[in-house]
C-alpha cells in the first residue's frame, strides 16, 4: 500500500474523513508555494493537490483558470514547480498529489517526469485529460514507486467502466460530482448520493468526492457518502483574497468526526 492510501485509511480508522485541498502552484508567484503548503499542513489536511498551470485547462472552472493564468504570467512551469517541491521536501510530512494535464508532461518527457516526481517526494498523480485506455504506459512506470495513480470517474460512467477504472486506482478514487468543469455549486441534487454509494461499492481504495464542493455543509454532506473530499475553487479564491481563517474553518469541517445523516 502506497503512502497516500495509508494516510487516508489512517484518517478513516481514527474516525475522521480525508480533506484534500487543491492549490494552483505559482498563483502569486512560485515563492509563495512553500508558505501555502506549510499553512495547509499545519491546518491539518490529509494531503494536498498541487495544480500545474496550463494554457488549455479543459476541466477547470473560472476560479482555477484565473489562478492558472496568474501563475503562467509569473513564468511558472511543471519543471520549476517540481524543482520547488524538491526544495520543500524536508519540511513537508503531508503527502503531495500533482494534478497536471498531459501536454506539460510530454514537453519534458514521461520518464523524466516520473523520475522528477520521485525525487520531489510526490505521493500521487492526477491527469484529467488522460483516458484510462491511454494511461497504461504511465501507470506501468508508477509501479514500484510510491507515486499513486489517481483516476477520475464521472457521473455518467456506467458500472462496468467504474469497475474497470477502480481496479487500477491507487491512493484514492476521485469521484467527480458534477457534469462539467470545476467551480462552486449551490446544490448538487439528490442523485449524487446514490452515485457516490455506487462508486464506493466498486472501489478497492478510498473514494473522495470533488468538483464544486465549496462550503462546510457540502463538505459534510459529501463526506457522509465517501471517505472524504477534494476542495479546489474555494481554497484557491480564499488564498488569493488572503482569507486564511476561512480556509482553516473549511478544513476543520472536513476532517472532524461527525455523525452520518442521510441527505436524500
Which residues have a catalytic role annotated? 49, 60
Terminal alpha carbon distance of the chain: 34
Q: What is the 3-state secondary structure (H, E, C) of 27-91?
A: CCCHHHHHHHHHHHHHHCCCCEEEECCCCCCCCCCHHHHHHHHHHHHCCCCHHHHHHHHHHHHHH
Give yes or no for a contact between 199 and 173, defined as CB atoms under 8 angstroms apart.
yes
Helix count (H) and strand count (E) of the chain?
12, 9
Please give the radius of gyration of the chain, using alpha carbons only, rounded to the nearest integer: 17
What is the DSSP code (8-state) at residue 132? Answer: G
Residue keyed to cell 481496479: 167
Separation CA 70–CA 22 (nearest Å): 16
In the numeric block, the cell 521536501 is attached to 89
Amino acid at each position: 500500500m502506497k503512502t497516500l492510501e495509508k494516510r487516508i485509511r489512517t484518517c478513516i480508522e481514527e474516525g475522521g474523513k480525508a480533506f484534500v485541498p487543491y492549490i494552483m502552484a505559482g498563483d502569486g508567484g512560485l515563492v509563495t508555494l512553500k508558505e501555502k503548503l506549510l499553512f495547509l499542513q499545519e491546518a491539518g489536511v490529509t494531503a494536498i493537490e498541487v495544480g500545474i498551470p496550463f494554457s488549455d485547462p479543459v476541466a477547470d472552472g473560472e476560479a482555477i483558470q484565473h489562478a492558472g493564468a496568474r501563475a503562467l504570467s509569473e513564468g511558472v512551469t511543471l519543471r520549476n514547480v517540481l524543482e520547488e517541491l524538491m526544495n520543500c521536501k524536508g519540511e513537508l510530512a503531508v503527502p503531495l498529489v500533482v494534478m497536471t494535464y498531459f501536454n506539460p508532461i510530454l514537453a519534458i518527457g514521461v520518464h523524466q517526469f516520473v523520475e522528477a516526481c520521485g525525487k520531489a517526494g510526490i505521493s500521487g498523480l492526477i491527469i484529467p485529460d488522460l483516458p484510462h485506455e491511454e494511461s497504461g504506459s504511465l501507470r506501468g512506470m508508477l509501479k514500484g514507486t510510491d507515486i499513486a495513480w489517481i483516476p477520475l470517474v464521472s457521473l455518467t460512467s456506467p458500472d462496468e467502466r467504474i469497475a474497470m477504472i477502480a481496479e487500477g486506482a491507487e491512493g484514492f478514487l476521485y469521484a467527480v460530482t458534477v457534469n462539467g468543469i470545476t467551480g462552486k455549486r449551490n446544490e448538487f441534487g439528490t442523485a449524487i448520493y446514490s452515485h457516490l454509494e455506487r462508486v464506493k461499492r466498486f472501489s478497492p481504495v478510498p473514494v473522495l468526492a470533488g468538483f464544486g464542493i465549496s462550503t462546510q455543509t457540502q463538505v459534510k454532506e459529501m463526506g457522509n457518502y465517501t471517505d472524504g473530499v477534494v476542495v479546489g475553487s474555494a481554497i484557491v479564491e480564499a488564498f488569493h483574497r488572503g482569507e486564511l481563517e476561512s480556509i482553516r474553518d473549511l478544513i476543520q469541517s472536513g476532517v472532524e468526526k461527525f455523525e452520518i445523516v442521510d441527505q436524500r
